[in-house]
Amino acid sequence: MQTTVADYLKTRLEQLGLEQMFGVAGNYTAALLDTILADSDSPITISGNPNEICAGFAADAYARYKGIGAVYVTYSVGAFTALNTIAGAYVEHVPIVLINGAPTRKETVIERQEGLLYSHTTGNPMVDISLFRPVTVAAERIIDAGQAPYQIDAALTALLTYQQPVYIEVAEDVWRAACCAPERPLRGDRDGRVTVSDTAAAVAATLELTRQRPRVLFWAGIEIQRQGLEEPFLALMAALNRDRDDAEQQVRFVTSALSKGVVSEDHPLFDGCVTLTEQEIESLTGDDGCLIGIGGWTTSKNTGSEDVRGSGRVLASAGTARVGARFFASVELRDYIEQLTAAVPQCPPAPLRLPAMLAPVKAAAAVDETITYDSFFQMLSNWLGDDKVLVADAGFPLIGAQSVHIASQGGFLAQAAWLAIGYSVPAATGVKCALPDKRVVVAVGDGAFHETCQAVSDHHHYGHNTVVFVIKNGLYGIEQFLVNPNPFRQPPVEYPQRLQNAPYAYNALPAWNYEKVVDVFGGKGSKVETLTQLRAALAEIDEFKQSNFVVEVTVPETSVPGALSRNIDSTVGEDETANPDWPPANKF
């Protein structure tokens, strides 16, 4: 049986469960879009976006909940813009198909022979695929319809196997050319990645370590969500606590920034969302304790940018396991969890509880009506329920959101490894498309909002009831903090002229009336400057359950989340380390 290349790709995407595509239309991909639109029975909805960054981040968030996402772009001008989004998905193991239309084969030959450039071309026909090869697990350039089925299947099999993005480029005149029809469903081949599994040996080494260090705390990492292992992980925790009725004797687990919400924080064994730095783990485990990471990554927000491998640590992730000083090169996480669950009776561990010093920082009681990061997130925590999903952007909002209570499994999302500012607002589009029964709530700084504010138009256009809280301090606050945190100290250090004591001019933001963007994009807007006004805004949001909102939340320029302020006097900025006047006399 025969079909067209466009219909072949469409069929494969449908078989993999895709129901929503995001992108910006261009003539080079029109044949694929037309093929989808012509089929009234296709489950795939095509939704346009203001730009490729909004489309890519929406597809990223959609894929985290649905298992696959897709974004369509046009050659070079669209593809180059989408590179940031695909790189982030590659780093964070999100399965996205980037579909790029390309010039016809005839146009490519004329360019090469005559030097004539067509729209969006550089003269190098390999430039787009070369750009994406480093940030995808498969990249295919399709210029022959007869080879198209094999190239498409190879790319999508890699996507299923590695759960990372793939790139498919199709010449414009190949889309409607004939090829053979799909013969059998695709499947990932994770078992075929290795010839010999080290899982049993890794489990045995883990048990031996727990005999030497019997007090145990588990770290639930992001791969639990990425690989759909929530239930096996909870089965492991149940096995660990079988016949332990005393809560003080139960083995518990923590999460970190990237894995916050992979399991409901209402779970009785949840002990907190924390940053597991080397110092904190050492103070936690001591000489007889052991931290067992299940699918956790050593990223900046998870471990404070530190390599936390050590004698009392188990880190099972990325298809490997490190148990103390031993390394096991081929360990599938599902197998590791299931075998460890079966082996628990051989070596029942003792509990290790999170000490108070590692517990999430709670907001202090407000002494006035001024909104701070902590008071905002405390009020948000009390307002959020299991009918909402919180999406936090990079920077201060992500740090402040760690203290928010997340009641539902999957109720929190952040791009906490790649950390592209502006991710949250378009990501909310993808979350709502994947979870239509949830209300999506965004916490984004004003600097990040500048990047992707156009996504608010998607919220309104799609009929979503998404709520965007723009936390306005007038600064790229996290950048100022990293370079020179002195303006955020209370009081600031009085430096000589060599180092500024106020925020740097290049971190200042243009002053927008954020609540008025809805006048252009659609929705309801409001501005809050006090806690009383914030309560009123939350009440209005609850009243208008079907409307999308943008709420400008004004905080003081030098406000920072409590997780940063508690150690700010001992935090040294990048400028300060190079300053000969550091440290100031009698300050620290």
Q: Which residue has the tokens 């588990």?
A: 218
- First-residue to last-residue Cα distance in the chain: 77
Q: Are residues 49 and 151 in the same domain?
A: yes
On whether the CB atoms of residues 292 and 236 are closer than 8 A, the answer is no
326 assigned to some structural domain: yes
Please tell me the predicted confidence (pLDDT) of residue 588: 44
Scored b (16 or more CB within 10 A) or e, 223-260 reads: bbbbbebbebbbebbebbbeeeeeeeebbbbbbbbbbb
Q: 260 and 148 in one domain?
A: no
Say whether both 93 and 210 belong to one domain.
no
The answer as to whether 335 is a domain residue is: yes
Q: Distance between CA 213 and CA 64 in Å, rounded?
A: 36
The count of C-alpha atoms lying within 13 angstroms of the C-alpha of 410, restricted to the half-sphere facing its C-beta, is 21
CATH of the domain at 518: 3.40.50.970
Q: Are residues 163 and 307 in the same domain?
A: no
My answer on whether 338 and 218 are in the same domain is yes
pTM score of the predicted model: 0.93
Edge to edge, the sheet with strand 412-413 lists 412-413, 388-392, 439-445, 467-472, 549-554, 524-528
| Strand (E) or helix (H) holding 390 | strand 388-392
Whether residue 516 is contained in a domain is answered as yes
Question: Comparing C-alpha atoms, which of 272, 313, 532, 307 is closest to residue 405?
Answer: 272
CA-angle at 137, arms to 136 and 138, nearest 5°: 90
Q: Is residue 495 part of a domain?
A: no
Same domain flag for 172 and 215 = no
Kindly state whether residues 348 and 455 are assigned to the same domain. Answer: no
As for how many domains the chain has, the answer is 3
Q: What was the pLDDT predicted at 191?
A: 52
- Beta-carbon contacts of residue 416 (< 8 Å; ≥ 6 apart): 257, 258, 299, 301, 302, 394, 398
- Please state, in angstroms and rounded to a whole number, the distance separating the CA atoms of residues 415 and 61: 9
* 449 lies in the same domain as 397: yes
Flag whether 26 is in a domain.
yes
Whole-number pLDDT of residue 190: 59
Q: Are residues 381 and 452 in the same domain?
A: yes
Rg of the chain, C-alpha, whole Å: 25
Residue numbers in the chain where pLDDT is lower than 70:
114-116, 189-195, 347-348, 353-367, 496-500, 579-588
**Helix spans in 249-401 (H):** 278-285, 300-303, 333-343, 373-383, 396-400
Question: Which amino acid is present at 403?
Answer: S
349-388 residue pLDDT tens: 777 766 654 555 555 555 679 999 999 999 999 999 999 9
- Stated as kind and residue range, the H or E segment containing 389 is strand 388-392
224/97 same-domain check: no
Q: Is the peptide bond before 583 cis (omega within 30 degrees of 0)?
A: yes
Residue 153 sits in the same domain as residue 209: no
Q: Does 176 map to a domain?
A: yes
**Boundary residue ending a domain (133, 168, 189):** 189
Query: Burial of 440 by CB count in 10 Å (0-12 exposed, 13-18 middle, 19+ buried)?
Result: buried
Tell me whether residue 402 is in a domain.
yes
* CA–CA dist 28, 50 (Å, integer): 18
Q: What is the DSSP code string of 321-354?
A: EEETTEEES---HHHHHHHHHHHGGGSPPEE-PP
Answer with the one of 156, 171, 189 that is the final residue of a domain.
Answer: 189
Strands (DSSP E) found in 422-523:
439-445, 467-472
Q: Do residue 96 and residue 118 come from a single domain?
A: yes
Question: Is residue 483, in this structure, part of any structural domain at all?
Answer: no
Handedness of CA 437, 443, 448, 449 (dihedral sign): positive
Cα 482-484-489 angle, rounded to 5 deg: 105
Question: Which residue, 323, 358, 393, sits at the end of a domain?
Answer: 358
What is the CATH number for 217? 3.40.50.1220
Tell me how crowded residue 288 is: count the other CB atoms within 10 A of its CB: 12
Which amino acid, 426?
Answer: P
Q: What sign does the CA torsion over 527, 533, 535, 541 have?
A: negative
Structure token digits, residue 149: 């089925």
Q: How far is CA 277 from CA 39, 267, 302, 306, in A?
A: 53, 24, 8, 6
Range of the domain at 153: 2-189
Give the strand pairing for 166-171 and 178-180: unpaired
**503-528, pLDDT tens digit by residue?**
899 999 999 999 999 999 999 999 99
The torsion defined by the Cα of 403, 408, 409 and 414, in degrees rounded to 10, comes to -40
The answer to whether 274 touches 303, Cβ cutoff 8 Å, is no
- Decide the pairing of beta strands 20-23 and 178-180: unpaired
